[in-house]
Amino acid sequence: MNVMNATVGTAGVGEQGCARFGLGRSPLRWARTVVCTAAALIIGLSTRAVEPTAAEARLTVAAYSGPYFAGVLANPELNEASGLTASRRDPDLFWSHNDSDAGPRLYALGSDGRNRGAVTVRGATNVDWEAIRSFTWQGRSWLLIGDVGFDNGKRTVFKIYVLPEPDPSALSPEREIDAEVAWSFPFAYADGKNRDCESVGVDVNEGAIYLLEKRVFPSGLYRLPLKPATDGMQTPVRISMVDTIPQPDAELAAAKSVKASWRANATDMDFAADGSAAVVMTYSNAYLFARAAGESWIQTFAKEPQRLPLFHLDKAEPEAVCFAADSRTIFLTCEKPPAPLLRYERLAIPPTR
C-alpha cells in the first residue's frame, strides 16, 4: 500500500510504504522501517473512546479527505511534540518543539516528518512551551512561541517569544544553528489565576494573538497584542466564552482519561493564513471553524464547527495542529513517539448555482 495515499484507518506501512520516504535495505533504513511500522500500528488503533459521541456525530463533517499518513517525526530528540507550524519560507518545511523543561529548541522537519535540523533559540526559556505559529509581517517571516502552559498549575505568569524564521538553507540534520529572539513579553490573566492554555492563533491583520483555554467549559477566548508598545507585563483581554465544542457524554465524563472526560480539551489551534478558518484540535477530534467575509473571530467561534474526519489516535495524545501555508491543507501530530504526522486535504467543492 502506498502510505502517502493511505488513510489512517487502513494505513499499512512496511518496506514498500516506507520506500516512499527513500528507505531501502541498509540497517539504518531498516530501523526507520520499523519506526514507520510502529507508528502505523498506533494510527490503526481505534476504540470506543475515539468514536464520536452523539453530540460530536451530529456535526457536519468538513469537506476534507484523510487523514493521510504523511510520515513519522524522525528526529529522536523531538520526543514530546506539543506544537506544529508551517514555514512561510519553504513549502516543505515545518517547525515543532518539545513540551515543558526541554530546552529552548525548535525542530525543523519535512512534510514527511524527516529530520531537517534543530535551532537553539537564544534569549528564550522553555518553561511549558505549548504552541508555535508562523506568520508574515512587515515583509518578513516570523515564528511565535507560546510559553503558555500552566506547568501543572505551578505558574501564573506566561510568556510569548517572537523570532525571525531561520533561513531554511542554513538547516542541516548534522549540526544545530542558533536564532535570536526579536521580542518577547510576559503576560498574566487579570484574575491572577494559573489558567491552562495550549492553543494559540495569530491574526496579522489585527496585529493580535488569540489564546483558547484548556480544561474548562465554556473556554475563554483571549486576545493579546502581537507586538506590545512595551516589553512589560501584558494582560490578555477575554473577548468571549467558546461553548461550541461538543462535550463528553455522561458515561465518558465519569472516566478520567484524555479520550473520555478530557476528550473535548483544546490542545492546539491555528488560523489559516488567509483568515478563512480556524482549526481547533482536542484529544479526540479536530474541528474546523469556517470564517465568513467580514466576520470577527468572536462570531466565528460562536458558530457550530464542522468536524474533520476522525483521526483514530487512541493512545498517541494529539497535541499539535496547523494549516499549511496554502490555508487549505491541515497537518497534525502527537506527543508520544513514534509520533505520526497526519495530513488532511481540502476537497474541491463545485461552485453553487
Per-residue pLDDT of the chain (353 residues; tens, 9 = 90+): 233 334 544 333 333 334 333 333 334 444 455 555 555 554 444 334 467 899 999 999 999 999 999 999 999 999 999 999 999 999 999 999 999 878 999 999 999 999 999 999 999 999 999 999 999 999 999 999 999 999 988 999 999 999 999 999 999 999 999 999 999 999 999 999 999 999 999 999 999 999 999 999 999 999 999 999 998 999 999 999 999 999 999 999 999 888 899 999 999 999 999 999 999 999 999 999 999 999 999 999 999 999 999 887 777 889 999 999 999 999 999 998 999 999 999 998 754 44
What cell numbers appear for 197 in the block? Answer: 492554555
- Residue 287's pLDDT is 98
Q: What type of residue sits at position 299?
A: Q
- Residue 132's pLDDT is 98
φ, ψ for residue 325 (rounded to 5)?
-65, -20
For CA atoms 31, 36, 37, 43, give the dihedral sign: positive
Sequence-distant (6+) residues with CB within 8 A of 309 are 61, 62, 64, 65, 66, 67, 344
Distance CA 345, CA 68 (A): 8
What cell numbers appear for 307 in the block? Answer: 468536524
Report whether 129 contacts 147 (CB < 8 A). Answer: yes
Sequence-distant (6+) residues with CB within 8 A of 238 are 190, 220, 221, 222
In a 3-state reduction of DSSP, which class is residue 352? coil
φ, ψ for residue 314 (rounded to 5)?
-75, -40
Sequence-distant (6+) residues with CB within 8 A of 196 are 149, 150, 153, 213, 214, 215
Distance CA 231, CA 185 (A): 5
φ, ψ for residue 169 (rounded to 5)?
-70, -15
All domains in the chain, ordered by first residue: 1-44 (no CATH), 45-346 (2.115.10)
pTM, two decimals, is 0.88
- For the chain, the maximum distance between any two Cα atoms, rounded to a whole number of angstroms, is 59
Report whether 332 contacts 342 (CB < 8 A). Answer: yes
Distance CA 203, CA 275 (A): 8
DSSP string computed for 50-83: GS--HHHHTSPBPSEEEEEEEEE---TT--SEEE
- Residue 315's pLDDT is 74
| Pairing label, strands 176-180, 115-122 | parallel
Report whether 297 contacts 279 (CB < 8 A). Answer: no
- Residue 24's pLDDT is 35
User: Exposed, middle or buried: residue 246 (CB in 10 Å: 0-12, 13-18, 19+)?
Assistant: buried
Distance CA 171, CA 21 (A): 19
How many other β-carbons are positioned within 10 Å of the β-carbon of residue 311? 26
Q: What type of residue sits at position 63?
A: A
Angle in degrees, CA 96, 325, 317, rounded to 5: 35
Prior bond of 218 cis (ω within 30°): yes
